[in-house]
Amino acid sequence: MNDKYTTSAFDRSSREANKVGVIGLGYVGLPLAMACVRKGLQVIGIEVDERKLQLLKDGKSYIQDIDDDELEAAVGSGRLVPTSDYGQLTEASGIIICVPTPLTEEHTPDVSFITNACMCLRAYLQPNQLVVVESTTYPGTTRELVQPLLEQSGLKAGADFHLAYSPERIDPGNHSYPVEDVPKLVSGITPRCLERVTELYGCIFRHVVPVSSTDIAEAAKLLENSFRLINISFINEFAKLCDELRLNIWEVIEAASTKPYGFMPFQPGPGIGGHCIPVDPLYLQWTARRSGAESRFIELSHDTNETMPQYMVNRIIRLLGPDRTLSGSSILLIGIAYKKNIADMRESSALPLIKLLQQAGAEVKYYDPYVPSVRIGASVMHSVELTDEVLSGAGCVVIHTDHGGLPIERIVAKAAALYDARNATRGMQGAGKLERFGDGTRAGVQ
Ligand SMILES: NC(=O)c1ccc[n+]([C@@H]2O[C@H](COP(=O)([O-])OP(=O)(O)OC[C@H]3O[C@@H](n4cnc5c(N)ncnc54)[C@H](O)[C@@H]3O)[C@@H](O)[C@H]2O)c1
């Protein structure tokens, strides 16, 4: 692997060289498209979701990290062209694929979005174009799946067009690391493909880090996300243990974090969500199984994560106390997105939590300033207004997601019983009963 370096050698001499295509304008593709615009490139943004496409054409952002003014200016000036027409990609010098990679019902990789994107693209693929896959996927995808699909165009990868893989590391809602500032791994199926992606990405990102093969870059992304799954699952297990031992996990983490090396703090919570951390490690697990190997850490971490909503339900039952059951109790969830300050509900632990509470007969409401409504099975729930009456009328209030700007003091003052899964109420005394995940307190039992 070469050292990381910065370059801006991408050929900007012709109009075409300044044009890139981004396929899939979601949490990854839209910020990437806007980063390209900021660097002076013209972007053809391909999106198949009609609702999103219309919003983009109207200059309206559906991603918190992109503001309407910047988007409107980019679309209005023609620097970002949102379209569903793959034919417009013939003019682009580089085409970046940012489509979803979810799981099938059997928890195996669902690469159908990549397949569809490649099948749409191959009809318009031009000699000398660069195609970069950014979607997170199992090692081997670019070579085994993308390359043969694109070669059905009649063009040969590495000879007639260039094929590369660069994993996306964006952290939605995290403003400390703008997308351009995060070091970008790049790889190609030939040395020339690597050169081409390094040139293009050198125009967009501050640090470009070439690695020796697309398989290495694909695996690196899975290592990063498996590392997070395993560590967050472990800290959740530790938090449960602290609950039993009547120790305060939050203080334990703070104490351990004073070690200047060899320790990295992870925060407990009600379960790991999002499109990446609970999903990507299962791509690795599938790869391991495919080659007859095992991935026991991932298996265990996945199982630990799956049990978190039931653990939360058990703690709520304990907090309600021996005289009350969930059946007939009203439970108010504060925050249901999978993490703070974003609207993303994918794999949010609030979804199984709501289902479990409802199955036990509870009447569930939620408040989330980022999520106005959510589908739970066949029905749709709407965020309630967080009035004093709603707070004091709930049998138990649960802080599930600690969005910035929540009126924590008012919640603590009004809730008859409050279960805080995020330590958002640290140091506070509840007017009613108050328990925090992992802090060892017992408000519901003597
Ligand atoms: N969300 C994250 O924080 C994050 C971070 C790093 C990597 N990733 C990876 O990036 C990839 C994209 O994730 P995302 O969160 O942006 O997903 P997303 O669902 O937010 O966005 C994907 C977009 O692609 C569109 N799309 C699907 N098929 C298409 C097609 N054939 N042509 C054009 N558009 C199409 C969808 O309508 C959607 O708008 C995934 O592989 C994910 O694992 C995501």
| pLDDT given at position 261 | 97
Task: For ligand 1, atom 14, name the residue with the nearest CA.
Answer: 27
Determine whether the shortest distance from the Cβ of 49 to ligand 1 is under 6 A. Answer: yes
Q: Which residues contact 426 (CB under 8 A, 6 or more apart)?
A: 250, 436
Is 196's pLDDT higher than 50? yes
Instruction: State whether CATH 2.20.25.90 applies to domain 221-304.
Output: no
Determine whether the shortest distance from the Cβ of 135 to ligand 1 is under 6 A. Answer: yes
Instruction: Kindly give the residue spans of alpha helices, DSSP state H, lying in 328-435.
Output: 350-359, 388-393, 408-414
Atom of ligand 1 nearest to the CA of 63: 20
| pLDDT tens readout for residues 101-137 | 999 999 999 999 999 999 999 999 999 999 999 999 9
Residue 46 Cα to ligand 1 midpoint, Å, equals 12
Catalytic residue selected from 193, 203, 242, 276? 276
Secondary structure (DSSP) of 4-36: PB-------SSTGGGEEEEE--STTHHHHHHHH
Atom of ligand 1 nearest to the CA of 24: 24
Residue 166 Cα to ligand 1 midpoint, Å, equals 14
Is 281's pLDDT higher than 70? yes
Instruction: State whether CATH 3.90.330.10 applies to domain 16-212.
Output: no
**276 catalytic, yes or no?**
yes
Determine whether the shortest distance from the Cβ of 30 to ligand 1 is under 6 A. Answer: no
Place of tokens 């939605």: 172
Residue 134 Cα to ligand 1 midpoint, Å, equals 9
Closest CA to 23 of 57, 49, 61: 49
| pLDDT given at position 445 | 56
Determine whether the shortest distance from the Cβ of 48 to ligand 1 is under 6 A. Answer: yes
Atom of ligand 1 nearest to the CA of 116: 31
According to DSSP, the β-strands at 130-133 and 94-97 are: parallel
Task: For ligand 1, atom 43, name the residue with the nearest CA.
Answer: 136
pLDDT bucket at 175, cuts 50 / 70 / 90:
confident
pLDDT bucket at 4, cuts 50 / 70 / 90:
very low
Domain boundaries, given as residue ranges, for the chain: 16-212, 221-304
Q: CA-CA distance, 44 to 80, in Å (whole number)? A: 6
pLDDT bucket at 443, cuts 50 / 70 / 90:
confident
Residue 30 Cα to ligand 1 midpoint, Å, equals 9
pLDDT bucket at 174, cuts 50 / 70 / 90:
confident
Residue 55 Cα to ligand 1 midpoint, Å, equals 17
Q: Which residues pair with 69 in a beta bridge?
A: none
Lowest mean pLDDT among 13-27, 46-60, 212-226, 339-353: 13-27
Determine whether the shortest distance from the Cβ of 16 to ligand 1 is under 6 A. Answer: no
242 contacts 439 by C-beta, under 8 angstroms? yes
Whole-Å CA distances, 203 to 9, 17, 187: 7, 12, 16
10 Å CB burial of residue 308 (0-12, 13-18, 19+) is: buried
Determine whether the shortest distance from the Cβ of 133 to ligand 1 is under 6 A. Answer: no
| pLDDT given at position 336 | 98
139 contacts 215 by C-beta, under 8 angstroms? yes
313 contacts 437 by C-beta, under 8 angstroms? no
| pLDDT tens readout for residues 403-442 | 999 999 999 999 999 999 999 999 999 889 999 999 988 8
Mutational pocket test of ligand 1: of 25, 99, 170, the residue with most ligand atoms within 8 Å of the beta carbon: 99
Mutational pocket test of ligand 1: of 43, 218, 275, 344, the residue with most ligand atoms within 8 Å of the beta carbon: 275
206 contacts 181 by C-beta, under 8 angstroms? yes
| pLDDT tens readout for residues 11-51 | 444 544 689 999 999 999 999 999 999 999 999 999 999 99
Determine whether the shortest distance from the Cβ of 100 to ligand 1 is under 6 A. Answer: yes
